[in-house]
Amino acid sequence: MAKLVILGIHSKLSLCFNPNATDLPPHQEIGMPSLSPTMTEGNIARWMKKEGDKVSPGEVLCEVETDKATVEMECMEEGYIAKIIHGDGAKEIKVGEVIAITVEDEDDIVKFKDYKASESPGAGDVSAPSEPTSKKEEVEPVKTNGPVAPKTDETTRAEDRVFSSPLARKLAEDHNVPLSSITGTGPDGRILKADIEDYLARTSKPSSKVTEPTAAPSLDYSDIPNSQIRKVIASRLLLSKQTIPHYYLTVDSCVEKLMDLRGQLNTLQEASGRKRISVNDLVIKAAALALRKVPQCNSSWMNDYIRQYHNVNISVAVQTEHGLFVPVIKDADKKGLSAIAAEVKLLAQKAKDNNLKPEDYEGGTFTVSNLGGPFGVKQFCAIINPPQAAILAVGSAERRVVPGTSPHQFEFGSFMSVTLSCDHRVIDGAIGAEWLRAFKEYIENPQSMLL
């Protein structure tokens, strides 16, 4: 069962709009968080805090189970747990439904002893009905930046300045026609239904399309909505860079023999109609074998202990137009190069088609990220993919001139730079260096990978 930490939680300051809570002191309703775009409900696996406990930001409140994973839900603000509404093992709680109440003041805890959540499901996440209407006007202008909103916004604002008949306004709204761009023919320039119909006729068939240029009044930027995957990656990278003490080790490996071996293997692969083996496939294999030699790098920091994994599952970073994915090659140390090559291609294709299943990307113990090859990046430092303890950043192979054996002599050779980012809590410098030496040995003597 995979476990990941999600940073944000769904919590909201409740201004006592709950009808049976009017006499209650200020408190926070903690709602069932939404952990994936498809999630509609979740279960409480168990509470790590009990009623009356003090909680601080970053502390784990409870474990939430979805169909995909068990996730630790962290506290965002300081306070006390006043009431747990859904206890251990509670099942099928709708996203947004209140699961607990927190208060700032310890003395307020008792006042929630007999607290009952209002029945309407989702009461916790629909804020609009309870809020005064003036709040709505504050919210509206923000939406101007959104991709769709400007049209309606334009219409509403135009209403303030332009006289129009209710029928005309309704028709304009239905067709996203900005009233400001219409000249009214009624008394005092009032816009009539006929004016809108005229306008629609003039701008002809794809009426909604035609209005778009006017609808987005020459903003010099565009706001791109965040996909769920981008939000998740953003919070995980932030968590990683803020909480993991990274350090970086770089080595150059000679890849002459690796290239020769790859050429020979690919002749065989092609003859038997199998997928060609890439340099990256060889890097994955070498990294997997190096992890077997230096299992300290095949581990996670778990706060109270270090977990060493019994499998070497290599996550491979794949960039697609939908975002960054890291599908996993399970037990890469035990797989042949041909199998790794086929699996990487299959998973990369699934990532491009936005078709990866949780089992395709869960359970990695180490990541390889390659910006060499087609990208031509010489060397870089990657951000660790938590809860893993290390990531290997692979640069491109390049021809270099190197000093020969005797003075005034030189030779040519192909070299590849790789940089290992390590979590210092798990991997000390010398251990990271040992891992890199093992990796380099496999890359420089690739036949040894076949043993």
The catalytic residues are 424, 428
The Cα–Cα gap between 85 and 133 comes to: 30
Angstrom CA distances, 407 to 45, 51, 254, 399, 411, stand at 69, 77, 21, 21, 12
In whole angstroms, how close is the CB of 289 to ligand NAG at the nearest point?
9
The Cα–Cα gap between 286 and 9 comes to: 40
* Contact window for ligand NAG (CB under 6 A) among 76-84, 307-315, 346-354, 433-441: 307-315
Q: Can residue 165 be called a binding residue for ligand NAG (CB under 6 A)?
A: no
Tokens read off for 236: 């995980």
**Residue among 59 and 331 whose Cβ is closer to ligand NAG:** 331
Tokens read off for 120: 């309407």
Q: Can residue 309 be called a binding residue for ligand NAG (CB under 6 A)?
A: yes
In whole angstroms, how close is the CB of 13 to ligand NAG at the nearest point?
38
Residue environment code for 379-413, b if the CB has 16+ CB neighbours within 10 A, otherwise e: bbebbbbbbbbbbbbbbbbeeeeeeeeeeeeeeee
* Contact window for ligand NAG (CB under 6 A) among 57-65, 83-91, 155-163, 327-335: 327-335
Q: Can residue 115 be called a binding residue for ligand NAG (CB under 6 A)?
A: no
DSSP labels, 86-142: S-TT---EETT-EEEEEESSGGGGGGGTT----SSTTTTT--GGGS-HHHHHHHGGG
In whole angstroms, how close is the CB of 435 to ligand NAG at the nearest point?
12
In whole angstroms, how close is the CB of 171 to ligand NAG at the nearest point?
58
* Contact window for ligand NAG (CB under 6 A) among 25-33, 53-61, 225-233, 292-300: 292-300
Q: Can residue 331 be called a binding residue for ligand NAG (CB under 6 A)?
A: yes
Q: Can residue 311 be called a binding residue for ligand NAG (CB under 6 A)?
A: yes
Whose tokens are 């990531």? That residue is 391
In whole angstroms, how close is the CB of 229 to ligand NAG at the nearest point?
20
* Contact window for ligand NAG (CB under 6 A) among 122-130, 218-226, 309-317, 410-418: 309-317
The Cα–Cα gap between 340 and 319 comes to: 18
Tokens read off for 328: 């996993």
Contact 337, 362 (CB under 8 A): no
Out of 14, 298, 369, 388, which residue is the one contacting ligand NAG (CB under 6 A)? 298
C-alpha angle with apex 444: 405 to 379, nearest 5 degrees? 95
Per CB under 6 A, which of residues 347..376 are in contact with ligand NAG?
A: 363, 365
In whole angstroms, how close is the CB of 360 to ligand NAG at the nearest point?
11
* Residue number, nearest CB to ligand NAG: 363
Tokens read off for 368: 């390889």
Q: Can residue 269 be called a binding residue for ligand NAG (CB under 6 A)?
A: no
Grouping H, G, I as helix, E, B as strand and the rest as coil, residue 295 is: helix
- Which helix (H) or strand (E) is 394 found in, with range? strand 390-403
Out of 29, 153, 154, 333, which residue is the one contacting ligand NAG (CB under 6 A)? 333
User: Which of 170, 177, 171 has its CA nearest to residue 211?
Assistant: 177
Q: Can residue 313 be called a binding residue for ligand NAG (CB under 6 A)?
A: yes
Out of 180, 308, 320, 414, which residue is the one contacting ligand NAG (CB under 6 A)? 308
In whole angstroms, how close is the CB of 134 to ligand NAG at the nearest point?
51
* Contact window for ligand NAG (CB under 6 A) among 20-28, 76-84, 171-179, 303-311: 303-311
Question: Number of residues in contact with ligand NAG, rule: CB under 6 A?
Answer: 14
Bond into 387 cis (ω within 30): yes
The residues that touch ligand NAG, with contacts defined as CB under 6 A, are: 292, 295, 298, 308-313, 330-331, 333, 363, 365
